[in-house]
Amino acid sequence: MAATAITELDFEKFREFFYRNYFTKLRFEASGEELQHLTNLMTVNETYFFREEYQFQCLVQSILPDITHRKQDDGPIRIWAIPSSSGEEPYSIAIYLLEYWAGINDWDVEIISSDIDTRILAQARQGLYSQRSVQHLPDLLLRKYFSRSAEGYQISDELRNAVEFTRVNLSERADTRAYRDFDVIFCRNLLIYFDDVSRKSAAETFYDALKPGGYICLGHSESMSRVSSLYKVRKFPEAIVYQKPLEAR
Ligand SMILES: C[S@@+](CC[C@H](N)C(=O)[O-])C[C@H]1O[C@@H](n2cnc3c(N)ncnc32)[C@H](O)[C@@H]1O
């Protein structure tokens, strides 16, 4: 029996049918499972411990002393690290606070860290890392906060319990609405992937999420001044960061 030839036209029709159906599934599937799966495949998750360390130095030497000096209640200091990727950044913040911040015994700190990618969030919660991820950590800290196994470097339960990981799409107002009253936000190496409209919207989201006088730290190639005039530029000895004006509501 002769095989039926598939013409280019048939193939085009099939392709169109496939993409139309797939798009409908992405848009209308009630669970959102396929859209999340596609999102997880598309994200760029590059990160490592103590990346752009000068900002953590700025946090403990300049930002937190200013915040605690002004603080009028004894509630926790709230830090939001978005995007978390696999957790190296929020865990680096926790390590820095424990090791290098003079106020660690006087203040409660909450660290919440978010990402759009559910697969990478599961890795962050697990806290198991490769040699490449931990290569910039001093040996002393590696031994203190990690245990070595055949699978890699497992972060301690003390640090795992110090960070709460949540799934958030920074571009989705419904996702970010509950994120309020932060003293410091780290948003590093995400805005570079956004277009101008999304960057502006992110700047407004952070403005709503910060307390008056709260700070935002961006990645070294990112600048808030080019995106929004809502923030004051603060030049500390360790880093340039952005501050929501004290008189803001
Ligand atoms: C290059 S990593 C940066 C991780 C870390 N902040 C750092 O600087 O090392 C970028 C992360 O942004 C996340 N991401 C991309 N779009 C996002 C969005 N709209 N909302 C939240 N996270 C997003 C990705 O899943 C990825 O894990």
Cα–ligand 1 centroid distance for 53 (angstroms): 18
With a 6 Å cutoff on the Cβ, whether 115 touches ligand 1 is yes
With a 6 Å cutoff on the Cβ, whether 121 touches ligand 1 is no
What would the DSSP string read from start to end of 58-100? Answer: HIIIIIHHHHHHH--S-PPEEEEES--TTTHHHHHHHHHHHHH
Across residues 77-96, what is the average pLDDT?
Answer: 98
Q: What are phi and psi of 202, to 5 degrees?
A: -65, -40
Cα–ligand 1 centroid distance for 80 (angstroms): 13
Nearest protein Cα to ligand 1, atom 9: 47
Cα–ligand 1 centroid distance for 73 (angstroms): 32
With a 6 Å cutoff on the Cβ, whether 198 touches ligand 1 is no
Cα–ligand 1 centroid distance for 89 (angstroms): 11
Cα–ligand 1 centroid distance for 83 (angstroms): 4
| Residue 6 binned pLDDT confidence (cut-offs 50, 70, 90) | confident
With a 6 Å cutoff on the Cβ, whether 43 touches ligand 1 is yes
Cα–ligand 1 centroid distance for 209 (angstroms): 18
**Can you tell me the distance from the alpha carbon of 78 to that of 180, in angstroms, rounded to the nearest whole number?**
9
Kindly tell me if the per-residue pLDDT of 227 is higher than 60: yes
Q: Is the pTM of this model over 0.85?
A: yes
Q: Give the pLDDT confidence score for residue 5 in this predicted structure.
A: 75
The whole-chain average pLDDT of the chain stands at 95
Kindly tell me if the per-residue pLDDT of 225 is higher than 90: no
Read off the DSSP letter of residue 127.
Answer: T
With a 6 Å cutoff on the Cβ, whether 195 touches ligand 1 is no
User: CA dist 24 to 20, 21, 28, 216, Å?
Assistant: 6, 5, 6, 38
Nearest protein Cα to ligand 1, atom 16: 116
pLDDT in tens, 177-191: 999 999 999 999 999
With a 6 Å cutoff on the Cβ, whether 85 touches ligand 1 is yes
Q: Give the pLDDT confidence score for residue 167 in this predicted structure.
A: 98
Residue for token pair 């002769």: 2
pLDDT in tens, 170-222: 999 999 999 999 999 999 999 999 999 999 999 999 999 999 999 999 999 99
Kindly tell me if the per-residue pLDDT of 90 is higher than 90: yes
Q: Give the pLDDT confidence score for residue 7 in this predicted structure.
A: 86
Give strand pairing partners of 240.
235
Across residues 88-107, what is the average pLDDT?
Answer: 97
Q: Give the pLDDT confidence score for residue 3 in this predicted structure.
A: 62
Kindly tell me if the per-residue pLDDT of 69 is higher than 70: yes
